[in-house]
């Protein structure tokens, strides 16, 4: 049987040459200050066992990985109605997605590009109650960790640099695809992006996607089995910005990345894997994190293809 701990420790050393090849996100000041040489990785098995290495216990800004969890919340409340507000096709754009958003009359291509995440969150906010509490509570429940919380400094920093997201939200509002107040929406969006979680938190939070929506650790099913499969499909085709094809080719797992340097990947039926390394490649995905996942699926033969 495979020694997962040895595998993770091996990878933590083997990725060393990858440092310095990417660039820490600098589009908001608070993110630019994160040390570049961090590396953490954790796996969470369906059996409950967890393995980790490096800085896997250290919380970082999950950024766009939050889109995955907000999609789960939206699907659990609204089911396939979500897809009346957002598509599920890759955008195929190096250019900022506003171009396609306009051509397609305010319906974003998928829930993992910014306008799609805004539309998904807008739908979630139509529920009674404070969406921020709902999101934080859901992440705490998934990670089984009540210390999961927002990083206020990051959140304020994002709100102060949100012009492009604000533009997209108003464009969609013009097309009737945003119903909430745009400023409330943006504040909640910055809140979800600024949530801080560790690799260990994320790996546990991602497990239900690997196990048909239900785990032995959580009290109740998070999603139906069909929903879990479908979210994995959307992750594989849309989860890695304009690099989904290369990522599928190299790693072969459904995954969602964030500009904080985190990637959460799912091995259907078996486990979830979280990795963190802040330097990003040209597409906005963690350079070292992608390396680590590529090694992992090669060594463990867990790629889905």
Residues in contact with a copy of itself by the rule CB under 8 A: 87-96, 98-100, 102-104, 109-110, 163-164, 166-171, 173-174, 228-230, 232-234, 236-238, 242-246, 248-249, 252, 254, 268, 303-305
User: Cβ 301 to a copy of itself, closest distance in Å?
Assistant: 10
- Give dist(CA 68, CA 265) in Å, integer: 11
Which residue number, 52 or 290, has a Cβ lying nearer to a copy of itself?
290
- Give dist(CA 242, CA 18) in Å, integer: 21
- Give dist(CA 254, CA 270) in Å, integer: 13
- Greatest extent of the chain over all pairs of C-alpha atoms, in Å: 57
User: Cβ 35 to a copy of itself, closest distance in Å?
Assistant: 28
Residues 6+ apart with CB under 8 A from 190: 155, 158, 159, 162
- Give dist(CA 151, CA 205) in Å, integer: 18
Which residue number, 31 or 148, has a Cβ lying nearer to a copy of itself?
31
User: Cβ 186 to a copy of itself, closest distance in Å?
Assistant: 10
User: Cβ 93 to a copy of itself, closest distance in Å?
Assistant: 6
User: Cβ 195 to a copy of itself, closest distance in Å?
Assistant: 23
Which residue number, 48 or 92, has a Cβ lying nearer to a copy of itself?
92
User: Cβ 282 to a copy of itself, closest distance in Å?
Assistant: 13
Are 178 and 107 spatial neighbours (Cβ–Cβ below 8 Å)?
no
Which residue number, 110 or 215, has a Cβ lying nearer to a copy of itself?
110
**DSSP summary character for residue 261:** S
How far are the Cα atoms of 15, 55, 156 from residue 219, in angstroms, in the given order? Answer: 37, 28, 34
Give the strand order in the sheet containing 60-61. Answer: 60-61, 195-197, 149-150
Query: What residues act catalytically?
Result: 64, 67, 189, 241, 259
Are 115 and 102 spatial neighbours (Cβ–Cβ below 8 Å)?
no
Alpha-helical (H) ranges within the chain are 4-14, 29-32, 65-78, 98-103, 114-125, 131-143, 152-159, 163-174, 182-193, 199-210, 225-238, 244-250, 287-300
Which residue number, 56 or 209, has a Cβ lying nearer to a copy of itself?
209
Which residue number, 53 or 215, has a Cβ lying nearer to a copy of itself?
215
């Amino acid at each position: 049987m495979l020694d997962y701990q040895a595998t993770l420790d091996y990878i933590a050393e083997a990725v060393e040459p990858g440092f310095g090849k990417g660039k820490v996100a600098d589009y908001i000041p608070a993110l630019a200050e994160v040390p570049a040489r961090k590396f953490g990785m954790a796996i969470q098995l369906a059996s409950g066992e967890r393995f980790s290495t490096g800085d896997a216990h250290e919380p970082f800004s999950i950024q766009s990985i939050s889109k995955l969890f907000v999609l789960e919340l939206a699907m659990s409340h609204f089911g396939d109605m979500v897809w009346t507000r957002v598509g599920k096709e890759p955008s195929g754009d190096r250019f900022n997605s506003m171009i396609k958003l306009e051509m397609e009359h305010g319906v974003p291509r998928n829930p993992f590009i910014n306008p799609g995440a805004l539309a998904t969150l807008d739908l979630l906010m139509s529920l009674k109650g404070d969406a921020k509490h709902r999101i934080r509570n859901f992440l705490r429940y998934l990670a089984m960790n009540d210390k999961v919380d927002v990083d206020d400094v990051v959140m304020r920093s994002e709100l102060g640099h949100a012009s492009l997201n604000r533009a997209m939200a108003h464009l969609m509002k013009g097309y009737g695809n945003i119903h909430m107040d745009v400023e409330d929406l943006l504040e909640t969006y910055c809140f979800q992006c600024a949530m801080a979680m560790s690799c260990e938190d994320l790996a546990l939070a991602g497990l239900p996607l690997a196990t048909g929506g239900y785990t032995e650790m959580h009290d109740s099913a998070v999603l139906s089995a069909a929903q879990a499969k479908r979210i994995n499909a959307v992750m594989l085709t849309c989860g890695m910005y304009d690099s989904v094809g290369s990522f599928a080719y190299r790693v072969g797992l459904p995954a969602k990345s964030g500009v904080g340097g985190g990637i959460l990947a799912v091995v259907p039926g078996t486990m979830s894997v979280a990795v963190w390394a802040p330097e990003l490649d040209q597409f906005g995905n963690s350079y070292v994190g992608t390396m680590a996942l590529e090694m992992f699926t090669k060594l463990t033969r867990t790629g889905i293809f």
